Amino acid sequence: MLVALFFYLFATVLIASSVMVVSAKNPVHAVLFLILAFFNAAGLFVLLGAEFLAMILVVVYVGAVMVLFLFVVMMLDVNFAELRAGVLRYLPIGLIVGLILLFELVFVVGAWVTAPQLASDAPTPPPSEVSNTEALGRLLYTDYVYLFQAAGLILLVAMIGAIILTLHHRRDVKRQNISDQVARSPETAIEVVKVETGRGLQ
């Protein structure tokens, strides 16, 4: 009874906050509602016994992505009135895309049928003494360790590529050159100027 109560509580708040994310006019309020939606989704994952997914949802999305997006929205002084001025021009295209998505959702929900052998083909759950996080770690680092390392390498290459593509050196900015500093000699480091008596430097 208590589990069902928490399920309906998390689900109701999740649906309400998701609607507010889409309908909120202030982008900062939309981000805050999205954080609330992520917390309630994490609560649903905990009720399902997937505490690892709940932790990842809170740590990665709430702790990094949403907070970063919130700071970007707050720091950038974007004039949202100008952005909303041209919304009516794209309204027909938006309605067409929305109708296509609605048709696809209705088609998927209407044609979805549960297979009768689905319950018998389900994998056996891990032993009760092993937590969900430990079972997932054993699976990743034993059976799928090479695929896990390959995914890490792909993400590393993508991160380096993004840094290289966005890194631009400005020629009008002075930069430190370590090799030139190490190769300096007293002759090139200082300049001795002989000043006449009674006259300063010109």
Q: pLDDT at position 128, please?
A: 62
Q: pLDDT at position 195, please?
A: 78
Same domain? For 76 and 1 the reply is yes
Q: pLDDT at position 115, please?
A: 67
Q: pLDDT at position 151, please?
A: 92
Same domain? For 72 and 147 the reply is no
Domain-located, residue 140: yes
**Nearby residues of 49 by Cβ (< 8 Å), 6 or more positions away:** 132
Domain-located, residue 118: no
Q: pLDDT at position 69, please?
A: 77
End position of a domain, from candidates 19, 49, 80: 80
Same domain? For 14 and 75 the reply is yes
Domain limits at 52?
1-80
Domain-located, residue 163: yes
Closest CA to 76 of 36, 22, 28: 28
Domain-located, residue 76: yes
CATH code (residue 9): 1.20.120.1200
Domain-located, residue 121: no
Domain-located, residue 150: yes
Q: How far apart, in whole angstroms, are the C-alpha atoms of residue 42 and residue 68?
A: 19
Q: Which residue ranges in the chain fall short of pLDDT 50? A: none
Total domains in the fold of the chain: 2
Q: pLDDT at position 83, please?
A: 64
Supply the DSSP string of the chain, one letter for each residue: -HHHHHHHHHHHHHHHHHHHHHH-SSHHHHHHHHHHHHHHHHHHHHHTT-HHHHHHIIIIIIIIIIHHHHHHHHHS---HHHHHHTTGGGHHHHHHHHHHHHHHHHHHHHH----TTHHHHSPPPPPTTS-HHHHHHHHHHHTSHHHHHHHHHHHHHHHHHHHHHH----TTS----HHHHHT--HHHH-----PPTT----
Pair of tokens at residue 13: 């708040």
The answer to whether 151 and 140 have CB atoms below 8 angstroms apart is no
Same domain? For 138 and 69 the reply is no
pTM: 0.57
Domain-located, residue 4: yes
Domain-located, residue 28: yes
Pair of tokens at residue 95: 């309605």
Q: pLDDT at position 48, please?
A: 84
